[in-house]
Each structure stands twice: as structure tokens, then as C-alpha cells.
Amino acid sequence: MKMKNHSAALFAVLFLFLSVLSDTPALAQEKGAVREGFSAEALQGQKIVLVRPSVWVGEQSMAGVPEPNADWTAQSRELLVAELGRRQAQFSNVIIAEPELVGPEAKLFADYRSLFSTVARSVMVYQFFLGNRLPTRKKGAFDWTLGDGTSRLGELTGARYALFVTTRDEYGSTGRKIFQLLAAGIAGVGVQSGVHQGFAGLVDLETGYLVWLNADGQMGGDVRTEDGMQKRVRQLLEDFPGLAEEPAH
């Protein structure tokens, strides 16, 4: 009897949870923006430092809890760096890699990598998702900054701009996929299995302003494979100012 009561209670909680999901509205999303007054012409003759990409890859549990996978992350980081290197010929600028630093200077780059990810995620949630748009962003003004402390990055590299890249991928576990099927079967709602976010942004190191951003919470490409990473980078660099078209294979 206790087992039956427990099962009934569990089913009721599951049904209630799925019902709440079914009432959650879908929101329209933009994916990119350019700061007013900035254009490809502003990049001409300027050096860009490619900041070491921030990569996280793991698995999503049945309950949606992300669990890191070190092997996947290392593999994806290697593929991302290689693909960005391959695409450098399409830029009309000199691209330099983040220098190998130690101590406070290395920490400075790490701090700005983290800050960029936070700001980019905020832009995606509070400006690109139209239903969530903050009152200060109602007119669509793209006005975001990492602070003028970025000038120190310019001093360390000799670059005027910095290109930041962040990817986060949570692949749905078997349990999560089963839960997804149950959600569709019991309540007729869709439950997301997996998270695939990507941010690429260009920052003016003299001012700290974010002058171009591509941010998408539903990116394609399996970042654990070479072909998948090529697709991901193609999406990340979409509409980058002045970027040449990739040659046809």
C-alpha cells in the first residue's frame, strides 16, 4: 500500500511539473547585434587578440543537472582552437593569440574571459529575448561594456580589439531523454534535452565597449567532432564585421 501511495504521489508531482512547463510561453530571440556607430571600416588596419576560448562540455542528468566531462571538454577545446586558427585567413585583420602569461597578468585575462561570458549571457537573456527585455533596452539600444579596465589587455598585447569566444554544451543523458519522452507522452509538452550555448564577441579594448556580439542558446554542431566544431564556429562567426566568405569545398 505504501509503495502504491508513493508511486501515486510521484506521478502527481511529475504531472504538476509537466503542467507548469506546458504553461511556459516561448519567447522570440534575436541572435546578434552591433554597437551603434561601429562598422567593418573601424576594424581596418587594427590588430585583434583572440582570447583563449572558454569551453565547458558535459552531460545533463535526468533532472537537468549539468555534470562536467573533462575528456569531452579537452577534446572540444582542442577542436575549437584548431578551427579558429583555420578560419583566420578570412579575417581582414592581423589576429594574434592570447600571450602565455603567468601571475596577475594571466589572472587578468581569466577574469575578463569570465566577465565576457557573464555579460554575453545577460545580453542574450535580457536583450535578445524580446519578452525579457529590460526597460532600459526597450528601444533596442546595444550598449554593453566590460569596463575601461580592458585597456590593460591592449597594453599587454598591442591589440585594439579582443575577440572572446565561449561555448557551453550539456548533452542529454539517457535518463534525460527518457524523461523527455515521458513529458511528451504524459503532458504533451516539450522538455529540453541538452543545452548548447555559444557566444562570440568583439570588445574595443580602449573603451571596454562590446561592439559586436553573436549569442545563441540553441547552437548546432556536435563540438566533440571536427565536422560539428566547424558548424559551431561558422555559427559563432556569422555576421562578424568584414569577415570574408568561407571558400566552397
Q: Is residue 8 pLDDT above 60, yes or no? A: no
Which CATH fold topology does 29-236 show? Answer: Rossmann fold (3.40.50)
Q: Is residue 241 pLDDT above 80, yes or no? A: yes
How many residues are present in the chain? 249
Cβ(117)–Cβ(54) under 8 Å? Answer: yes
Q: Give the burial class of 88: count Cβ atoms within 10 A of its Cβ; 0-12 exposed, 13-18 middle, 19 or more buried.
A: middle
Question: What values do phi and psi take at 37, rounded to 5?
Answer: 95, -10
Q: What is the pLDDT of residue 154?
A: 98
Measured CA to CA in angstroms, residue 176 lies from 65, 180, 193 at distances of 10, 6, 6
**What is the distance between the alpha carbons of residues 53 and 55, in angstroms, rounded to a whole number?**
6
Q: Is residue 84 pLDDT above 50, yes or no? A: yes
Q: What is the pLDDT of residue 134?
A: 61
Entry pTM: 0.81
Question: What values do phi and psi take at 209, rounded to 5?
Answer: -70, 140
Cβ neighbours of residue 165 under 8 Å, at least 6 residues apart?
50, 51, 53, 54, 80, 84, 198, 199, 200, 236
Question: What values do phi and psi take at 31, rounded to 5?
Answer: -125, -15
**What is the distance between the alpha carbons of residues 192 and 142, in angstroms, rounded to a whole number?**
29
Q: What is the pLDDT of residue 184?
A: 56
The β-bridge partners of 210 are 203
Range 242-246, long-range pairs (CB < 8 A, 24+ positions): 242/40, 242/43, 242/44, 242/91, 242/92, 242/93, 243/90, 243/91, 243/92, 244/89, 244/90, 244/91, 244/92, 245/90, 246/87, 246/90
What confidence tier does 60 reach under pLDDT thresholds 50, 70, 90? confident
Residue ranges covered by each domain of the chain: 29-236
pLDDT in tens, 143-156: 999 999 999 999 99
Q: What is the pLDDT of residue 175?
A: 56
Strands 32-34 vs 210-216: parallel, antiparallel or unpaired: antiparallel
